Amino acid sequence: MQARVKGKPRLDRQDWLDAALRALVEGGIAAVTMEKVAAELGVTRGSFYHHFRDRAELLGELLDYWVRDWTVAIVDDVRVLSLDPRSTLLALMRTIAHRKAAEYDVVFRAWALHDETAREVLTRVDALRVEYMTSLFLAMGFEGLEAENRARLALYYEMAQPAVFSAPTDEQKDLLLVERHRFLTAGANS
């Protein structure tokens, strides 16, 4: 009987995307190279080509991953709760914080400063986020620009917090989040 040689687990596209995201967070877009990502995964650069044609395809998939997992999935996860608009907003804010989505936002925004494709994706993501958040404030009874401004204020804080403020303690995070929610929804009809 022949002994089985235990090898490394077979990697898929998601493994490469996760490693590319870690590289992006740690070193910016210049750090997302086939060599660096392969080294982090403990494989040769050649195995990269089993999953992607080239770096451009990897970067395009990384942008899609960000849209899908850090915007669309977060909104979908909150929508399925079928809460009233005020509770939905609080759940959304908590989900963003829990998933640490803002930590990824910073690096994608930095990338978009120097890359047209990333900038186009960022513009689309911002529009999706503002539209959804505005819909929540409209459903609470705020009108027009007031609803949109409240949505933008919420997004500015939720998505920029790690880049602008030092990290509060876990207890402070939740207190700040609850107070921010109270402030943003003050005066709502529903």
* Fold agreement (10-52, 56-185): no
CB-based contacts of 109: which residues, under 8 Å, 6+ apart?
122
Write the CATH number of the domain with boundaries 56-185. Answer: 1.10.357
Domains of the chain, residue spans: 10-52, 56-185
pTM for this prediction = 0.87
Three-class SS string for the chain?
Answer: CCCCCCCCCCCCHHHHHHHHHHHHHHHCHHHCCHHHHHHHHCCCHHHHHHCCCCHHHHHHHHHHHHHHHHHHHHHHHHHCCCCCHHHHHHHHHHHHHHCCHHHHHHHHHHHHCCCHHHHHHHHHHHHHHHHHHHHHHHHCCCCHHHHHHHHHHHHHHHHHHHHHCCCCCHHHHHHHHHHHHHHHHCCCCC
Find where tokens 């996760």 sit.
18
pLDDT at res. 75: 96
Q: How far apart are CA 185 and CA 183, in angstroms?
A: 6
Closest CA to 46 of 80, 16, 9: 16
pLDDT at res. 4: 38
Amino acid at 111: W
User: Per residue of the chain (190 residues), what is the pLDDT tens digit?
Assistant: 444 334 556 899 999 999 999 999 999 999 999 999 999 999 988 889 989 999 999 999 999 999 999 999 999 999 999 999 999 999 999 999 999 898 899 999 999 999 999 999 999 999 999 999 999 999 999 999 999 999 999 999 998 887 788 888 888 988 999 999 999 999 998 7
Residue 138 C-beta-side C-alpha neighbours within 13 Å: 9
Q: Does domain 10-52 have CATH number 3.40.50.800?
A: no
pLDDT at res. 8: 56
Closest CA to 162 of 86, 113, 100, 90: 100
